[in-house]
Chain A
Amino acid sequence: MSVQEIEKTATLEHTGDGHHHGDGILGEQFETLEQQNNAYLIGMWAFIVQEVLFFGAIFTSYAIYRYKYVLEFTLAHHELNVWFGSLNTFVLLLSSYTMARAVRAAMQNRHKKQAIYLFLTFLLAGEFMLNKYFEYGAKFEHHLFPGGDYSAHEVVKHAKEKGELRIVEENGREFYELGKTRDGQFIAFKRVTPEEFEQRTRLFFGFYFIMTGLHGLHVLVGMIVIAILIGRAWIDHLKNKPIADYMPVEMTGLYWHLVDIVWIFLFPLLYLIGR
């Protein structure tokens, strides 16, 4: 590229958006609004990449333990309520949709619409957290939280009812046989001691609470940010602001979709497989 050509393109870049410096939208370090927006998008994506690795490490741990203790984990996960989980998935998918509509409204500078869609997202997120509250409550009641008073009692009871667990006694010691009942016949795949069974199911619930808890924390943080955005959008609407910076909404949108994607993987891996 010759010097003259470079000068020419540089000139073209410099005309146009200069006034945005005055709007307070364009940062000093940027030449054009397009450069700034691109930078923010790429920066947000880099943040999302690190979130993928953050959750990914604990998914990896869960995957490894599930591989080793597949029978115990499968029995334990029957305690999870599929309908609550499905409802939560539905709510979160819907909230992703309302979030995307909010971003679209922000790009169009239609602040009232933007605020409404953001508010819907907030409500759906709140409903998700409410469901979580009930789910967790039920777990605590049944002593399934892996704290001091954990008991595998519920798991054993339900597994026996489904014909997937049988208690046997040998030499005065009790063992659990894990397997399947086919045509009235119990086929044992594995034998464990009650202590081992309790430890391994406890591990499952440990992962359940850590993974959904971490995810819930991210939902909460998202809700706080969305609440701030609702406020700003409403103020922009009241002030009739012709052009507002839509990037914060877009970036929050990316974050929110990531939170949704994490749940998209959490739901089947924790609630569904092995039914």
Chain B
Amino acid sequence: MATATYTGTEKPNYLNWKTSVASWLFTYDHKRLGILYLISISIFFFIGALAAMFIRLELMTPKGDLLTSDVYNKMFTTHGVIMIFLFLIPSIPAVFGNFLLPLMIGARDVAFPRLNLLSWYFFITGGILVLIALFRGGIDTGWTFYTPYSSSFAKGEVSLAIVGIFLAGFSSIFTGINFLVTIHKMRAPGMTWFRLPLFVWAMYATSLLQVLGTPVVAITLLLVAVERTFRIGIFDPNLGGDPILFQHLFWFYSHPAVYIMILPAMGVISEVISAFSKRRVFGYHFVAFSSLAIAIIGFLVWGHHMFSTGQSIYAGIVFSFLTWLVAVPSAIKIFNWMATIWKGRVHWDTPMLYALGFMGLFVIGGLTGLHLAAMATNVHLTDTYFVVAHFHYVMVGGAIMGYLAALHFWWPKMTGRMYPEGWGKLAAMLVFVGFNLTFFPQFILGYMGMPRRYHSYPEEWAVLNVLSTAGSSVLGFGYLLPVIYLTWSLKYGKVVTERNPWGARGLEWELVDPVPDPHNFERTPIVTRPAYDYAHPEEPTGFIPKPRPVVVGGKDG
């Protein structure tokens, strides 16, 4: 490992000290794995976005004239499966969790680097299987795989897609295990729980969800595949089974899954908002514990997806009440972030624009969730575009904005280059405008009764649908811009020579080289200051690098 192929004159870093393809594909380095995930999920994102493009193109006109209903079903299934399982669930944890976690806690790597590599292999294999399934004719069950359609009637590559998702699920589980152990056992001396960046708390809560929830969807989808092969009748009412049982098991994971998607984004927002207001996060303990509260309560609400499918109304009452409860910790975070920005010295850089966009859009998404959480209004709104708008507000307006904020915020640390700020701001504003234009009309459409997953609709809803499609082109363009200018910046962007271009707080900014060393820290840090210590000037008095032991005959490079 000490035999680097690097021959340049600058200091070797994790990117250039070895450059063979093998050194990337067989790496144990958490930073390289983060980059590998970044590339993989970006590819999946654009395939999923392509499917979305077809959906919006079809919906531009009331008649189902672009795609047959069968092909349309395959489109929204493709869009859902790829965006959820292959993009959103891994996104922030696999890219930024991997890259940042050891840096933020002062460790040399995660607890199980080889498991980390295995995680990525599982992810890629699973993703490829899903793509093969989609291109070999596809699946039209919806990403929710509701039975008995998916288990008894659907034609197509359902079982193959299920195997792919199963493998991707195990990638998620292994990542969760890795992060839990890393956070418990690898923190640098002095890095107590309440000195951790809030991103780490968010990743901890997310990892709990991944480990406790994913195995349930794994076995559930496996049962669907077994059903397709042996027709046992577990979910088929014609054979004595109950389709609602599938929904119980499916949503037991899939509801916490949405918190897997949003909690890391919330962690990012804590980091970005404090860095660009130059203030500590207000109510640190509240924000930290609210992440855990969301994770735990989030496991108790899954029945709110099943109010009108046959679940008993008494169970529904319980689930409805708990769903209202889960909104509280999210609201706590919003209030604390607002208090953080208040009287801060706000810098309106791109990451901050995305973070502010997150706050507004997440509030809308979250509040509209309450309309759905109340059983009475749910009966009218369920399976309409209201639901579609609600979850896109939280998953795109929320999670993806958080992802883009993270991408821009940590771009200099990951690549040593700065992106062009002007283009960054432009893209952020296009994304914000495009997003609202796409999805706000859908609230109205849903309220008026337009059902989801239909490729045609009555004439009177044409205008709102056209607006939505127009918005989606703006949004698409807004997503394309970063791909271009971020890639451009790799070669032509301004080289970052200082450790802390943003003047932020955190070990990854204060102690790690502009582009990190392969082993992160020259010497083990010792932490003595609280997190977000913006009140005091940035100087490493609180971090006393301790010499690493001199290892005789060690395998360390």
Chain A–chain B contact at Cβ < 8 A = yes
| A18 close to B185 (CB less than 8 A) | no
Is B537 engaged at the interface, CB distance under 8 Å to the other chain? no
B interface footprint on A124-147 (CB within 8 Å = 1, 0 otherwise): 000000000000000000000011
Contacting residues of chain A (13-52) with chain B, CB-CB under 8 angstroms: 13-15, 18-19, 21-22, 24, 27-31, 35, 38-39, 42-43, 46-47, 49-51
| B180 close to A42 (CB less than 8 A) | yes
- The answer, among B113, B226, B240, B241, for a CB contact under 8 Å with A196, is B240
Least CB distance, B302 to chain A, in whole angstroms: 12
Is B56 engaged at the interface, CB distance under 8 Å to the other chain? no
Q: Which residues of A contact B86 (CB under 8 A)?
A: none
| Residues A29 and B111 in contact in the complex (CB < 8 Å), given A22-B554, A51-B215, A57-B249 | yes
Is A10 engaged at the interface, CB distance under 8 Å to the other chain? yes
Name the CB-closest residue of A to B232: A206
| Residues A203 and B233 in contact in the complex (CB < 8 Å), given A7-B546, A69-B240 | yes
Size range of the chain B interface in the assembly: 35 or more
| B240 close to A203 (CB less than 8 A) | yes
Tell me the complex Cα distance, A193–B549, Å.
77
Tell me the complex Cα distance, A212–B548, Å.
51
Q: Which residues of A contact B176 (CB under 8 A)?
A: 46
Is B239 engaged at the interface, CB distance under 8 Å to the other chain? yes
| Residues A38 and B185 in contact in the complex (CB < 8 Å), given A46-B180, A50-B211 | yes
Is B433 engaged at the interface, CB distance under 8 Å to the other chain? no
Q: In this complex, which of A13, A35, A43 has the most chain B Cβ atoms within 10 angstroms of its Cβ? A: A43
- The answer, among B230, B544, B549, B554, for a CB contact under 8 Å with A206, is B230
| A22 close to B189 (CB less than 8 A) | no
Least CB distance, A250 to chain B, in whole angstroms: 15
Tell me the complex Cα distance, A206–B242, Å.
14
| B190 close to A6 (CB less than 8 A) | yes
Tell me the complex Cα distance, A160–B119, Å.
54
| B524 close to A50 (CB less than 8 A) | no
Is B184 engaged at the interface, CB distance under 8 Å to the other chain? yes
| B215 close to A199 (CB less than 8 A) | no
Name the CB-closest residue of A to B548: A14
Name the CB-closest residue of A to B241: A203
Is B219 engaged at the interface, CB distance under 8 Å to the other chain? yes
| A10 close to B181 (CB less than 8 A) | no
Q: Which residues of B contact A240 (CB under 8 A)?
A: none
Contacting residues of chain B (12-52) with chain A, CB-CB under 8 angstroms: none
Contacting residues of chain B (157-173) with chain A, CB-CB under 8 angstroms: 173
Tell me the complex Cα distance, A100–B447, Å.
62
Is B109 engaged at the interface, CB distance under 8 Å to the other chain? yes
Q: Which residues of A contact B230 (CB under 8 A)?
A: 146-147, 206
Tell me the complex Cα distance, A252–B556, Å.
28
Tell me the complex Cα distance, A142–B520, Å.
63
Tell me the complex Cα distance, A28–B551, Å.
11
Least CB distance, A4 to chain B, in whole angstroms: 10
Q: Which residues of B contact A30 (CB under 8 A)?
A: 186
Least CB distance, A215 to chain B, in whole angstroms: 12
Tell me the complex Cα distance, A138–B211, Å.
38
Tell me the complex Cα distance, A203–B241, Å.
8
Q: In this complex, which of A18, A22, A39, A46 has the most chain B Cβ atoms within 10 angstroms of its Cβ? A: A46
Q: In this complex, which of A29, A31, A35, A210 has the most chain B Cβ atoms within 10 angstroms of its Cβ? A: A29
B interface footprint on A207-231 (CB within 8 Å = 1, 0 otherwise): 1001000000000000000000000
Least CB distance, A201 to chain B, in whole angstroms: 9
| A46 close to B211 (CB less than 8 A) | yes
B-contacting 9-mer, from A58-66, A90-98, A108-116, A170-178: A58-66
- The answer, among B102, B216, B245, B528, for a CB contact under 8 Å with A3, is B528
| A43 close to B181 (CB less than 8 A) | yes
Q: In this complex, which of B107, B218, B239 has the most chain A Cβ atoms within 10 angstroms of its Cβ? A: B239
Tell me the complex Cα distance, A35–B111, Å.
10
Is B458 engaged at the interface, CB distance under 8 Å to the other chain? no
Is B500 engaged at the interface, CB distance under 8 Å to the other chain? no
A interface footprint on B112-154 (CB within 8 Å = 1, 0 otherwise): 1101000000000000000000000000000000000000000
Tell me the complex Cα distance, A10–B102, Å.
18
| A14 close to B549 (CB less than 8 A) | yes
| A10 close to B555 (CB less than 8 A) | no
| B109 close to A29 (CB less than 8 A) | yes
Least CB distance, B235 to chain A, in whole angstroms: 9
Least CB distance, B24 to chain A, in whole angstroms: 19
Tell me the complex Cα distance, A147–B161, Å.
23
Name 24 A/B residue pairs within 8 A (Cβ), A-sorted.
A3-B544, A6-B528, A7-B546, A14-B546, A22-B555, A27-B113, A38-B185, A39-B185, A42-B180, A43-B112, A43-B115, A43-B177, A46-B181, A50-B173, A50-B211, A50-B214, A57-B215, A60-B249, A61-B245, A146-B232, A146-B233, A147-B230, A203-B233, A203-B240
A-B complex: 6 closest residue pairs judged by Cβ atoms: A206-B232, A54-B215, A199-B240, A29-B109, A21-B554, A22-B553
Beyond known contacts A14-B549, A55-B219, A202-B239: 10 more, CB 8 A cutoff: A29-B109, A35-B185, A39-B181, A43-B181, A51-B215, A53-B215, A53-B216, A57-B220, A199-B240, A203-B241
